[in-house]
Amino acid sequence: MSHQDIIRIKNASFYAYHGVATDEQNLGGKFEIDVEIRSDLSKAMESDSLKRTIDYEAVYAMIRQIVTSKKFRLLEALANTIASELLTTYPQIDGVTVRVRKPHPPVKGVVDYVEVEVTEHKK
C-alpha cells in the first residue's frame, strides 16, 4: 500500500529583512511561513520512531535559518529556497508546498497580507 501522508507546519513567524524597497531591507518586518510536506510516513507509523520520520523541529530550524540568514528581494525566491532545501535535505520527501506571507505589505491600499505559494516535487 502506498501512502501519501502530510506533515504541516502552520504560521511559523519570523522577523526578517526581505523586500524590494530599501526600507524593507533595512527596517525589516514580520514574515509568516506555512510548509506542507508530502511523504510516505508508514514506517514512522509502524515503528513510532522519530528516526523513521521527518523531524518537524529540524524542519522548523532549517526554515528559521533560511528566513533569517539572507535577505531576499522577492517572496517567490524565499519560498523557492525553502522548498528546494527541504527536498535536497530530506530525500524521503515526495513533494512540498511552501507559503510565505508578508503581513501589512507596503502597497498603496489596505491589505491584510500578501502570500506566495510554491509547490515542488521530487525530480
> Between 115 and 105, where is the model more confident?
115
The set of catalytic residues is 102
What's the confidence (pLDDT) of residue 2? Answer: 63
Q: What is the pTM of this model?
A: 0.93
Average pLDDT score over residue span 90-110: 94
- Where helices occur in 1-123 by DSSP H, the ranges are 22-27, 42-47, 56-69, 75-89
What CATH code is carried by the domain that includes residue 22? 3.30.1130.10
pLDDT per residue as tens digits for the range 60-97: 999 999 999 999 999 999 999 999 999 999 999 999 99
Q: Cell numbers at residue 76, please? A: 517567490
State the Cα–Cα distance between residues 121 and 111, nearest whole angstrom. Answer: 31
What's the confidence (pLDDT) of residue 66? Answer: 98
pLDDT value at 33 more than 80: yes
Apex 117 CA angle, 115 and 118, nearest 5: 150
Expressed as residue numbers, the domain containing 63 is: 5-121
pLDDT value at 117 more than 90: yes
Domain count, the chain: 1
In which band, very low, low, confident or very high, does the pLDDT at 28 lie, cut at 50, 70 and 90?
Answer: very high
